[in-house]
Structures are given as C-alpha cells and as structure tokens.
Amino acid sequence: MPNKPLKRKAPTRYSRGSGTEKPESGLIRLNKFIANAGICSRREADQLIVAGAIKVNGKTVRELGTKISPDDKVQYGEMTIGRERPVYVLLNKPKGFITTTDDPFNRKTVMELVKNACRERIYPVGRLDRNTTGLLLFTNDGEVAKKLTHPSHRIEKLYHVYLDKALKKSDMIRMTEGLELDDGFIRADEVSWVEGAGDKKQVGIRIHSGKNHIVRRIFEHLGYKILRLDRVVFAGLTKKDLPRGRWRFLTQEEVNRLKMLGKR
C-alpha cells in the first residue's frame, strides 16, 4: 500500500507547501534542503521525493512542496543529510593534479589543494585533465553545479593555448565555422592569436561546449599539438589576482551571477 503524503498538523514541524500560503519562519522546502546539502540539483531532489527515496523523521515523504524545519532529520536511503551552508571555492589549478575526489592509484588530486578551504564537503564542477591548468570551481551547491555542467546552459570558457607551431588563419576560420569530430559537430565561438605573444603559437579560444578534452581534440583534428593549456575564464569568473595553486572564495556578487545563468 503506498505511503500517504504527509499533511501538516500540530505539532508537526514540516508542512505541505502551496503557492498561496505565507512563508513560515524557519522552514525550508525539502528539495532546496537536499540541493543545499550537495546531494543533487533541486529538480533531481524532486524526483527522489516522488520516488519515495527521502524520509523526514523516519517517515517517507512523497509530496512535492513539503517544507521542513532545521530540527527535522532528513534521510536519503541510510544516509542522514546534513544542512550545510553553500560554499563556492575557485582554484587556479596547477599541472599534475587530476580532477577527482579520490584516486585508487594514489595520484595527486585537486582535493588536496582545497582541503583546508572549509569544513563542508565540496566537489569539483566539471573536469580539467591532469596537464591542463587554470580555473576550477568547487561547491556543495548541487543546483549550481548542475547548471554549470548541463549543455543546455552553454557555459562560456576561455582557454589560452600554447601550440607546437603557428596557427594558420585558414584553420582559425575552420574552427569558428565548425568541424566534424568523431562525436559530432563542434564550433568555437571565437579564436584569435594572443596579442603581444610575439608569435602565432599562442592562441585564445572561447567555447561553450563541455565535451571531454574538446579543446585538445579540436587542435589535434587540424594537425596541431598542444604544449600547454590554461583555462583563464569559466562562467564569467577570471584568474585575476589568483596565483597558480591558490584558491579563494567567491564573492556574493559572483555567486549571484552564477545563480542567474540560464535564466531569461
């Protein structure tokens, strides 16, 4: 027999949300609570709730819009979900670190570089391969992480590329007009030689695609070898005043801009 939706009745601390009721002091929507804990996005949290995967104070909750208080015990399976403050850490990744939370071969991971940033559990948003340097964001905000990695939001990235030979103007045009790679069509938003570099081996490429190793694959497709690859802009965030290997917290203004990405 299916579990009945929980309804508010005194002195129950959680309640069913509605579009007309006034906000209740201290209460938070269950899906937002789950997303803030870094479990998943708010939309995915709704799916977990409907599927009966979430319990509040030992009872399965299936009703969307349910609100809870900070004192309620929330469980996903056997795991108790703790309410964490959302944290956003920006790292200027050095070469030689892999983007993973754990490595079975004991290689250096990016988590070592931010281990003292906060007590909350944070995770890298997307990936930079071992030899790629530059901007990497960490957060426990599942909703923001989902937004920054989902292809539909077309998050902008700018890379500084160091090549083994000068980039031809004709190949530059081909990149912006589009190429057919093994996994489909790809087009760069903008490609240019780096001003003041002294040669045409240093290139800037602006791209929205989040496909794996996409920048390396674009240049390799045209017969170039990348000697160094550095991500200098990610979702409007820059490396300004952030030395290699160092991290900083995002400002509230930067966090607000991230949350607004993709909204119309």
pLDDT at 262: 64
pLDDT at 155: 92
Check: CB of residue 135 under 8 Å from CB of residue 237. Answer: yes
Q: If the chain, 264 residues long, is cut into consecutive pieces of 10 residues, what is the mean pLDDT of each piece? A: 39 40 64 83 91 94 90 87 85 97 92 92 92 96 87 90 98 97 94 94 95 94 98 96 97 94 66
Q: Active-site residues: which are they?
A: 129
Q: What value, to the nearest 5°, has the Cα angle with vertex 141 and ends 136 and 143?
A: 105
If one counts every other C-beta atom within 10 angstroms of the C-beta of residue 23, the result is 9
pLDDT at 263: 64
Check: CB of residue 87 under 8 Å from CB of residue 106. Answer: no
d(CA 99, CA 249): 19
pLDDT at 83: 67
Q: Which amino acid is at 15?
A: S
CA-based torsion, 88, 94, 100, 104: positive or negative: negative
Tell me the domains of the chain and their CATH numbers: 15-81 (3.10.290.10), 88-151+242-260 (3.30.70.580), 156-234 (3.30.2350.10)
If one counts every other C-beta atom within 10 angstroms of the C-beta of residue 55, the result is 18
Residues 6+ apart with CB under 8 A from 227: 162, 163, 164
d(CA 252, CA 40): 22
List helix spans (H) across the chain: 30-36, 42-50, 142-149, 169-177, 214-221, 252-260
d(CA 159, CA 151): 18
